Structures are given as structure tokens and as C-alpha cells.
């Protein structure tokens, strides 16, 4: 159904019955997920819940074993290329080449995304993450936090409408995090749609507009901020994650 | 156009990273030099012996140095999850294949040219002739094409250094054997007509194996 239309499609991310199996292990068990345009959805879950797998499937890096994914009206199966242009991914892994400089890394990704006026856009994004002075430094020589800032610059280089964040704050200090969130939330004055995974409940509650708990491959809680009962959410998370918060 | 420009971007990135570290160039060149020097000492300088072993020696060197290079092809992509970064880009999986195969081809050809020069100097046999360079070029296309596929396949295995040659060398054997025999004909002073069946065989292998590798790469990389 390649009929994406930003004016009319209010549901930007929709998954139906998404299942992922690795050998005999069922990692995702029929995920039904809906994220509306401009929403910041936080996906909580303990390690091994399937958060990263779900985000990789949403980013079309990986195919589901079963189920359908629609992003902005485009089918992930038939229009993966269109979807990838709309999405920026930040993971706890940086997707950066240690042997290349920041400029070379960003230039490579800019070429892959057909970014027009590459030089100017690279400068703009590195300034945004406060790494303008280190443009010619090799990524391998940077601290973990600096690498993560470059990874964020890489993810927004092509001005995506949707951001998928898998534990994006790895290694970043609080001051940088708040500055970055202000810049990441909007693209050309329009609120971005963001899916964020975290196992930090307090941080997720602070940022999110919609909250989901993923446990053992199943969504066990789904609610919007206006209706969320924080203590119930904590209870649910504790129950399904098997940890005390 | 987008396919070509993105494949070239990947190949360019590979070249940049290699120029920065020179890890692969150094390892493969040292290996190539060592093999040729050791054989030079063991066989002596008897022209007849050199003539007899030259094709086999050359292609054994090319094959194993090629495996060494291909082993590293996807290792860089595993660091920091770069393969996921590549796969999240708006490009078909085949673009990744083409870029990687192109960079492996250029790298292997560069090493082979150096090896041919070293061979000529050490063994006093001129292997820098046009027919031999053409054979090397055509055989390396098939080698890089299928090697890139198996390199991607073995990258996710724990013992990839062992897995790659075990899987890859039997598949590429027809092209290596054809190349050895064609090289032998060149050293025997045979005309282009004598080489023709071997060149056709190598060319056919290149076409078939490149097409198959290209088609199954997406499946391999997504597993």
C-alpha cells in the first residue's frame, strides 16, 4: 500500500502481529503497535525483552518472521527504501567507522542518503551536537560520549521525520542530553515522531507522551501520558521485568 | 545512477579506511612476499622448475592472499554496528554487495600486480604480459564476486578465519584451475587462440557466479 501522505496519515508507525524468531527462540510474539504523528513513544523493557529487535525491524534493518509494518502509509515490505529516508536511527552502537574522521563518516552517510549540499549540512549537524571543532578527528580517538553525539548527528543528517532511539543517551552527560533533546524534537518546526527504548523508567516518564512496556516479546502495557497511572506503570514494569524499581 | 554512486561511496569509504590503517595491505603484502621468497629459495633458479611451477605458485599465492583480504572485508562493518548503519540507508542490499565487491576487486588486483612484479624479479620470468594480466583480471572478478558473498556469510561466525576458506575455496576452484591452465599456456608461448577456451570458461564463471552472488546477498546479509 504505497500511498504515504503526510497530510492525511495520522498514524505514522503501525505494526500488526509482528513476530521475530531466531532459530527456536521467539523474540517478538505478535507485536501490535501504533504511534501517531509527532508522538514521542517510550518503549520500556528489561534487557532481552525484544526492544532492540523491534526497533531494528521498524528501521527495516531486519525483516520480521511474520506480521506487517506500515510507516507513514508505506509498507516496509514493498517500500523499504522510501521508509529508510524517513527514519533516523540512534542505537547504543554508533554505526560509525573508528578509522575515519567525523567528517569522513558523515560525508559517507550523506552520500548514502543523497543529502544535498553535503558540506553545509555536515557542518550544521556537527555544530548542533557541539562537535564542530573536532570534525577532522578520527572517531576512534573520541570519548564514548563524543562518539554518541556524532552518532546523533549521523542520524539526523538527512532530516528524518521519524527517529528511532535505542538507549540513545549511552555515555552522554545530562547537560548535553537536554540541549540535544531540544534540537531533536523538531524538524523544520514540525514535531518529529520518536520511538525511544529505555530501561530507565524515570527518564522515560520524563520524556514520553506515550508509554509501552515490552516484556518477553509482548506489549504488556500501552497508554498515553494523559491517562497514565505512574504507580500502575511501575507495578506493571516491575511485575513483567521481574525487577524492583 | 543512485546505485552506482552509492556503490562507489561504499568502495571509497573502504579505500579511505584502508589507507588510514594499512592493516590489510600490510598483512597481505607480507604474506605474498613471504610465499614467493620461500618458494624462490626452495626451488632455486632452475628455469625449467620455475616454468613448471610458476602458474600454480602464482595462483596459490593469489588465492590465499585473496582469502586473507576477504576475511577482513566485513570485519570493519561489525565494529560499532556499522553494518546496521549501512542497512538502515535507503539503498538496496545489492548496493552494499556491489560496493564491497568493487573494493575487494580493486584491492586484490593491486596486490596481484605487485605480486607479478615481485615474481618477475625473484624468478627471472616475465609474467607481466598482457595475456597473463587479462587472465588475472578476469579470474579476480569471479574471485571477488563470490568472495564478497562468503565474507558476508562468515562474518557472523565465530571462527570466520577458518570458515571462509573452507566454504569459499571449493566454490572458486573452477576459476582457479582455469586460471592456472591458462597461465601455463601463456608461459608456454601459446597464442590467443590457445587461451580462448580457458578465457571463455573464466568469463562464464564470472557471469554466473556474480549473478548468483548478487541475487542471494540480500538474503545472506539479513540473516
- CA B7 – CA A201 distance, rounded (Å): 42
In tens, the pLDDT along A80-118 reads 999 999 999 999 899 999 999 999 999 999 999 999 999
Query: What confidence tier does A200 reach under pLDDT thresholds 50, 70, 90?
Result: confident
DSSP A101: B
In tens, the pLDDT along A114-132 reads 999 999 999 999 999 999 9
How many cross-chain Cβ pairs, A to B, lie less than 8 Å apart?
79
- CA B154 – CA B161 distance, rounded (Å): 8
B10 interaction partners in chain A (CB closer than 8 Å): 112
Phi, psi of A50 (to 5 degrees): 110, 10
A6 inside domain: no
Q: Worst-scoring range by mean pLDDT, A18-32, A70-84, A148-162, B181-195? A: B181-195
ipTM, two decimals, is 0.88
Q: Is the pLDDT of residue B158 over 50?
A: yes
Domain extents in chain B: 2-222
The CATH number of the domain where A165 resides is what?
A: 3.40.50.300
A1 inside domain: no
Average pLDDT, stretch B68-87? 89
CA-nearest residue to B95 within chain A is A112
- CA B166 – CA A16 distance, rounded (Å): 42
- CA B185 – CA B197 distance, rounded (Å): 11
Task: Determine whether the interchain pair A111/B20 forms a contact, defined as Cβ–Cβ distance below 8 Å.
Answer: no
**DSSP H/E element including B11:** helix B2-21
For an interface test with B, give the residue of A56, A86, A97, A162 to mutate (most B CBs within 10 A): A97
For an interface test with B, give the residue of A53, A87, A108, A163 to mutate (most B CBs within 10 A): A108
Query: What confidence tier does A1 reach under pLDDT thresholds 50, 70, 90?
Result: very low
Structural domains of chain A, count: 1
Domain containing residue A143: 11-241
What does pTM read for this prediction? 0.90
Length in residues, chain B: 223
More confident residue, A199 or B9: B9
* Those residues with Cβ within 8 angstroms of residue B25's Cβ, 6 or more apart along the chain or in another chain: B18, B107, B111
Q: What is the CA radius of gyration of chain B?
A: 18
User: What is the separation of C-alpha A66 from the centre of its chain, rounded to a whole number of angstroms?
Assistant: 22
Amino acid at each position: 500500500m504505497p500511498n504515504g501522505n503526510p497530510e492525511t496519515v495520522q498514524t505514522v508507525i503501525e505494526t500488526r502481529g509482528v513476530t521475530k524468531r531466531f532459530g527456536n527462540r521467539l523474540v517478538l510474539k505478535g507485536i501490535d503497535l501504533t504511534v501517531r504523528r509527532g508522538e514521542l513513544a517510550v518503549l520500556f523493557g528489561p534487557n532481552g525483552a525484544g526492544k532492540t529487535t523491534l526497533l531494528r525491524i521498524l528501521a527495516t534493518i531486519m525483516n520480521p518472521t511474520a506480521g506487517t509494518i506500515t510507516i507513514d502509509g508505506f509498507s516496509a515490505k514493498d517500500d523499504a527504501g522510501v521508509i529508510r529516508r524517513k527514519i533516523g536511527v540512534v542505537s547504543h552502537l554508533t554505526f560509525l567507522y573508528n578509522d575515519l574522521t567525523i567528517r569522513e563518516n558523515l560525508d559517507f552517510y550523506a552520500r548514502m542518503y543523497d543529502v544535498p549540499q553535503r558540506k553545509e549540512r555536515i557542518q550544521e549537524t556537527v555544530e548542533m551536537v557541539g562537535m564542530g571543532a573536532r570534525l577532522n578527528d578520527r572517531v576512534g580517538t573520541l570519548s564514548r560520549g563524543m562518539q554518541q553525539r556524532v552518532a546523533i548527528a549521523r542520524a539526523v543528517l538527512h532530516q528524518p521525520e521519524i527517529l528511532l532511539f535505542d538507549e540513545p543517551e549511552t555515555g552522554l552527560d545530562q547537560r548535553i542530553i537536554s540541549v540535544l533533546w531540544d534540537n531533536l524534537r523538531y524538524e523544520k518546526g514540525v514535531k518529529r515522531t520518536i520511538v525511544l527504548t529505555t530501561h530507565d523508567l524515570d527518564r522515560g516518564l520524563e520524556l514520553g507522551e506515550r508509554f509501552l512496556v515490552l516484556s518477553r516479546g509482548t506489549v504488556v502495557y500501552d497508554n498515553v501520558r494523559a491517562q497514565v497511572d505512574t504507580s500502575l506503570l511501575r507495578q506493571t514494569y516491575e511485575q513483567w521485568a521481574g525487577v524492583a524499581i | 545512477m543512485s546505485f552506482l554512486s552509492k556503490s562507489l561511496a561504499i568502495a571509497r569509504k573502504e579505500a579511505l579506511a584502508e589507507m588510514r590503517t594499512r592493516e590489510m595491505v600490510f598483512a597481505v603484502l607480507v604474506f605474498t612476499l613471504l610465499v614467493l621468497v620461500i618458494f624462490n629459495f626452495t626451488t632455486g633458479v632452475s628455469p625449467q622448475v620455475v616454468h613448471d611451477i610458476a602458474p600454480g605458485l602464482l595462483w596459490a599465492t593469489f588465492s590465499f592472499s585473496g582469502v586473507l583480504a576477504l576475511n577482513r572485508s566485513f570485519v570493519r562493518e561489525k565494529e560499532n554496528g556499522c553494518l546496521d548503519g549501512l542497512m538502515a540507508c535507503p539503498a538496496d542490499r545489492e548496493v552494499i554487495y556491489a560496493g564491497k565487491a568493487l573494493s575487494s576487486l580493486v584491492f586484490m588486483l593491486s596486490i596481484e600486480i605487485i605480486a607479478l612484479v615481485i615474481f618477475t624479479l625473484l624468478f627471472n620470468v616475465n609474467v607481466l604480459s598482457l595475456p597473463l594480466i587479462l587472465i588475472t583480471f578476469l579470474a579476480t572478478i569471479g574471485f571477488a564476486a563470490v568472495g564478497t558473498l562468503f565474507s558476508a556469510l562468515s562474518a557472523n561466525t565465530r571462527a570466520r578465519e577458518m570458515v571462509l576458506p573452507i566454504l569459499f575455496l571449493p566454490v572458486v576452484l573452477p576459476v582457479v584451475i582455469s586460471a592456472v591452465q591458462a597461465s601455463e599456456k601463456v608461459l608456454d608461448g601459446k597464442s590467443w587462440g590457445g587461451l580462448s577456451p580457458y578465457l571463455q570458461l573464466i568469463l562464464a564463471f564470472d557471469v554466473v557466479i556474480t549473478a548468483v552472488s548478487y541475487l542471494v546477498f540480500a538474503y545472506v546479509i539479513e540473516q
